[in-house]
Amino acid sequence: MKPPGLGKKIAKIKASKAKAAKAEATEARAAGYDVANKADSDTVKVSDPESGWVQSTLRDIKAFRDKLDKVKWKADGIFEDDWRAFALLLSVPSSSQSAPGFPRGMGYDKLYGCASERDRHLLQCWFEDMEVRDEISLMKLLDQNYDNHIDFLDFRAFWAGGLGFDIYDQGEERWMVDGRMAVVEKLAELGGNLGFLAFDLCEGISFIRCAHALGIIPSKRVWQLLEFLAAKVAAHFDNWGQYALSCLCGFVYHTYSKSLHDGISEAHASVLKLGYLNALRKLTAQGGVWRMASWPRRPMLEKKPGSGIRDLLPLIPRWAGQILCLASDRIMVDGAKVGYMYREDAAFDGDSGWRFFAGDESEDYRLDPKTSVAYSLNGICNRDPDIMGFLFMKTRRALRRIDGGQLRPVDS
């Protein structure tokens, strides 16, 4: 015999599941999918780079980019003395989503605190699943959190003939690598050189905020990390539109990569995409907080041998050689992109032999020893991530930026 009331409870659970399935189907249809047959929709996977989900997503990105291009973004630098407020605002796409421990998101006006012990327990379980229990393991997670953008740069270097390792010898089946490469190529056509760094940084800021909510790191340390990341974002992007586009492209690539191993269905992926895309639309629409906020001016760089401004993000974890290089003041002080780079024999202890110039320096400028000093390679990569994949080239070919676009090997 069933306990009293059990039949009603079962009926209520079934009704709740049916309601959730109907809502998922509605959102999926809004993304262009007919999921009247739920069982069939679950068998259609995202892992094919020519899948319906990928194609419709590319159309969504193009439409979103076209709208962003029409906006006259504010760049008054009002956040340059308040990196804390800027950092919290940067995290909105990730921190506004519901997740274990914060069912209504974290907001962007203050550091997040769990509303209940239950929420705190859920957040703690989520972090334990990611093997994060203290600051050391948190920093390890943050170090690994730039894989999406590193993939973008590796594939670009591969296409340019400048990758110094076998891209098919990284522990994945060839069809997976080819699939990710195809998606990156399509996204690069829409996002240009922006890559996926904004998405990775946005996720990193959210991880730090969650860690504070669990008491893993104190407030002082949180603000130190967030201010560093905020300065990095300001150095890499010129406005909220660029940042939003990079966030979206990174999210799409991350979802596709995840589907290769987890087998995400198109219907489920469409719901995930809609949630993220709608958050970005709201932020960048007329009256949205990103639309109304000014972008801080690009931070000035310190001329400090052996270092780089806020040399924080570990962007070349595979690098095993000497860590120093020479870079022109045009790059490290004036903020110009690397326009010409080459490698020669080491000239001093710790020298990798790499030399970086903006490409517009006069001969007198280049010959003046005061205009080029030693920096860490990772510091240069933080300033201009476009160079990362080329550092591993086996042949010592020079590279030049073509018409302000991509770096290409110079013909011998």
Whether the pTM exceeds 0.95: the reply is no
Taking the domains of the chain in order of start, what are their residue ranges? 52-292, 324-409
Asked if 68 contacts 284 with a C-beta cutoff of 8 angstroms, the reply is yes
State how far the Cα of 86 lies from the Cα of 107, in Å rounded to an integer: 13
pLDDT of the residue at 287: 92
pLDDT of the residue at 385: 79
Lateral strand order in the sheet of 407-409: 372-376, 324-328, 351-357, 340-343, 399-401, 407-409
SS3 18: helix
The contacts of residue 133 (CB under 8 Å, 6+ apart) are 127, 216
State how far the Cα of 89 lies from the Cα of 229, in Å rounded to an integer: 12
Task: Report the relative pairing of strands 351-357 and 399-401 from DSSP bridges.
Answer: unpaired
pLDDT of the residue at 12: 46
SS3 99: strand
| Dihedral sign, Cα of residue 120, residue 123, residue 125, residue 128 | negative
State how far the Cα of 129 lies from the Cα of 131, in Å rounded to an integer: 5
Q: How many CA atoms lie within 13 A of 320 on its CB side?
A: 3
Residues of the chain whose pLDDT is less than 50?
A: 1-14, 16-42, 305-311
Asked if 373 contacts 123 with a C-beta cutoff of 8 angstroms, the reply is no
- Print burial letters for 205-221: b (CB count within 10 Å at least 16), e (below 16): bbbbbbbbbbebbeeee
| DSSP annotation string for 307-356 | --TT------TT--S--EEEEEHHHHTT-PPP-EEEE----STTEEEEEE
State how far the Cα of 13 lies from the Cα of 100, in Å rounded to an integer: 21
pLDDT of the residue at 169: 81
Please give the single-letter amino acid code of residue 384. D
State how far the Cα of 108 lies from the Cα of 291, in Å rounded to an integer: 15
SS3 263: coil
Q: pLDDT for 106-137, tens place per residue?
A: 777 788 778 888 888 988 898 898 899 898 99
Among 157, 100, 171, 94, which Cα is nearest to 129's? 100
Tokens at 289, concatenated: 């907080």
Helix axes 266-284, 6-30, angle to 10 degrees: 70
Asked if 332 contacts 303 with a C-beta cutoff of 8 angstroms, the reply is yes
